[in-house]
Chains A and B, each alone.
Chain A
Amino acid sequence: MTAPAPPSASEIAKAVSSGRLSALEATEAALARIERHDPVLNAFTDVTAGRARAKAREVDAAIEAGKSVGPLAGVPFAVKNLFDVKGISTRAGSKINRDRPPARRDATLIERLEAAGAVLVGALNMGEYAYDFTGENVHDGPSRNPHDPTRMTGGSSGGSGSAVGGALVPIALGSDTNGSIRVPASFCGIFGLKPTYGRLSRARSFPFVFSLDHLGPFARSVRDLALAYDAMQGPDAEDAACTARAVEPTAPLLAENIGALRIALAGGWFRKNLFPEAVQAVARVAKALGVTRVVEIPEAERARAAAYVITTTEGASLHLDRLRKRPNDFDPAVRDRLIAGAMVPAALVDRAHKFRRWYRAQLLEIFKSVDLLIAPATPCVAPKLGQVNFVLDGVEMPVRANIGIHTQPISFIGLPVVAVPVPLEPMPIGVQLIAPPWREDIALRVAYALERMGAVAAPSARGLSRGL
């Protein structure tokens, strides 16, 4: 049994701004949903109810005083627990980081969402230190898929996928180094935006791989995704990779005609290693858009390999001291991967970075004649929790390492991607809409058009037996 989803972020903001709903009522409704469904989903590691009520009262007082409250007035949101939340130790999915002192200031993106009137209600479960595609966590337990709690959420932003997929909150934030926004978006049947590398500030979030880390939003509609994204844009001197570009709002552009856009399917690597559901999802999106052109992406498999090398070595460098001093406090699977990463010869890392530049040039060349590429987000729908292997193109492979094979070659060069949910039965699955650098607007416009056509949508949580 499913029930209609609660109001979207844009509906809440409109109702709160016009006085039809108070921010406190919207916040209490979210807290009630969390209390009811989180025991099943295990999406939240921290619920910041006191802080949320105080912020909601602030928003309501501002409205009463006739002040401007921003485009996300009263909208509840939550963040992956690698974002600094003032007063909470930033655990980044680990046991070790719980010994850190409480954060003294919120992450930049939290500050920006709250400046737009949104209300933080908590921090979310994630794979340890973000080195994960499953959403399983040995310390906090797995986050669970809202459409079938016996299945993975995907990771590493698993709690973010679960919380938005289960409609506990309309917006959540996550991080994506190799696919950690797009994979949970795919498995949990929601929209996710991994912006261009450098677009959104990472200040006061716990890092994983500086060269590849991105932050971004999840939502149940494209409009909500764009609203959250727009509110978070802008330069930030506290993240060395953050762009100096001015804010480029996307929400006002969503309904623009997409007829003139040149759209193609990504070929080669992106047409292989797929379960039938992934093939079906890509075909449905291509058909809705009338796309038949296929463009070969050269060396995508090598791009995935280079991303793997950079990830494992930079990750190892980040955690080297912890690996020496507290190896038994890691998830053993993460620890063993990181130790191996520390042993990869530096020359290979340098070559991976050189290849990264070459590969970027190839993609920029492709984008001279293409405005958007379509590719699968994951090779399969959400696997069962604890599943170790699956068979891809006749070969048995480990699940954990291969969930992100179609996302890694894209984030490797920082291209902006909207993951859109295709609501197949019984489990949804995502498709990547990949745009040229700094053109998030194109991916969002196409996602919006697909949503209006009914080709993509965030389905109601099928795995929650009681109403929302």
Chain B
Amino acid sequence: MAADGLDDYIASAAKALSLPIEDSWRGAVRANLEVSLRMGKLVDEFPTPDEAEPASVFSA
């Protein structure tokens, strides 16, 4: 198990979502999740006020 707990997280999330992950895919899933979380961190670090509205109904 990796020290950062990501493998544990993947195993737990896969179980919670009923997603099958074969051992041979696990490394690729982890690599992809690392990229997604790195991108997510950039988003997370950006301060938005409590009143900021999401663009879930978006108009350009």
Binding site for B on A (CB under 8 A): 196-198, 211, 241, 299, 301-302, 304-306, 308-309, 312, 320, 323-324, 327, 332-333, 335-337, 339-345, 348, 350-358, 360, 401, 413-415, 437-438
A309 with B43, Cβ < 8 A, contacts A339-B29, A353-B55, A360-B55 known? yes
Of B13, B17, B43, the contact of A355 (CB 8 Å cutoff): B43
Residues from chain B with a CB closer than 8 A to the CB of A305 are 38-40, 42-43
A348 with B43, Cβ < 8 A, contacts A323-B19, A354-B48, A358-B52 known? yes
Residues from chain A with a CB closer than 8 A to the CB of B53 are 354, 357
Contacts A304-B39, A351-B44, A354-B48 supplied; 11 other A-B pairs, CB < 8 Å: A197-B60, A324-B18, A327-B20, A332-B28, A339-B25, A340-B32, A341-B36, A342-B19, A343-B9, A344-B37, A354-B54
Complex-state Cα separation, A350 to B55, whole angstroms:
9
Q: Are A320 and B17 in contact (CB under 8 A)?
A: yes
A355 with B29, Cβ < 8 A, contacts A196-B60, A309-B39, A414-B58 known? no
Q: Are A339 and B52 in contact (CB under 8 A)?
A: no
Q: Are A342 and B42 in contact (CB under 8 A)?
A: no
User: Which of A211, A302, A336 is the most central at the interface, judged by chain B CB atoms within 10 Å of its CB?
Assistant: A336
Q: Are B55 and A356 in contact (CB under 8 A)?
A: yes
A135 to chain B, nearest CB (A): 20
Q: Are B33 and A306 in contact (CB under 8 A)?
A: no
Complex-state Cα separation, A40 to B11, whole angstroms:
44
A281 to chain B, nearest CB (A): 26
Q: Are B29 and A340 in contact (CB under 8 A)?
A: yes
A306 with B43, Cβ < 8 A, contacts A340-B29, A341-B36, A343-B9 known? yes
Complex-state Cα separation, A337 to B42, whole angstroms:
19
A339 with B19, Cβ < 8 A, contacts A354-B52, A355-B46, A358-B52 known? yes
A302 with B42, Cβ < 8 A, contacts A335-B25, A344-B37 known? yes
Q: Closest residue of chain B to A345, judged by CB?
A: B40
Of A301, A304, A335, A357, the contact of B54 (CB 8 Å cutoff): A357
User: Which of B10, B14, B43 is the most central at the interface, judged by chain A CB atoms within 10 Å of its CB?
Assistant: B43
Q: Are A312 and B36 in contact (CB under 8 A)?
A: yes
B8 to chain A, nearest CB (A): 12
Residues from chain A with a CB closer than 8 A to the CB of B48 are 351, 354-355, 358
Q: Are A352 and B43 in contact (CB under 8 A)?
A: yes
Residues from chain B with a CB closer than 8 A to the CB of A355 are 43, 46, 48
Q: Are B56 and A343 in contact (CB under 8 A)?
A: no
Residues from chain B with a CB closer than 8 A to the CB of A354 are 48, 52-55
Of A211, A323, A438, the contact of B58 (CB 8 Å cutoff): A211
Q: Are A309 and B36 in contact (CB under 8 A)?
A: yes
Q: Are A351 and B58 in contact (CB under 8 A)?
A: no
Q: Are B36 and A302 in contact (CB under 8 A)?
A: no
A336 with B54, Cβ < 8 A, contacts A324-B20, A344-B40, A345-B40 known? no
Residues from chain B with a CB closer than 8 A to the CB of A401 are 35
Q: Are A332 and B25 in contact (CB under 8 A)?
A: yes
Complex-state Cα separation, A100 to B42, whole angstroms:
39
Of B10, B37, B46, B60, the contact of A438 (CB 8 Å cutoff): B60
Question: What are 18 A-B residue pairs whose CB atoms fall within 8 Å in the complex?
Answer: A196-B60, A197-B58, A302-B42, A305-B43, A309-B43, A312-B36, A320-B19, A327-B20, A327-B22, A336-B31, A336-B32, A339-B14, A340-B35, A341-B32, A348-B40, A348-B43, A356-B55, A437-B60
Q: Are A351 and B43 in contact (CB under 8 A)?
A: yes
Q: Closest residue of chain B to A342, judged by CB?
A: B17
Q: Are A302 and B46 in contact (CB under 8 A)?
A: yes
B40 to chain A, nearest CB (A): 4
Q: Are B40 and A414 in contact (CB under 8 A)?
A: no
B20 to chain A, nearest CB (A): 6
Complex-state Cα separation, A277 to B38, whole angstroms:
29
User: Which of B13, B19, B48 is the most central at the interface, judged by chain A CB atoms within 10 Å of its CB?
Assistant: B19
Q: Are B36 and A308 in contact (CB under 8 A)?
A: yes
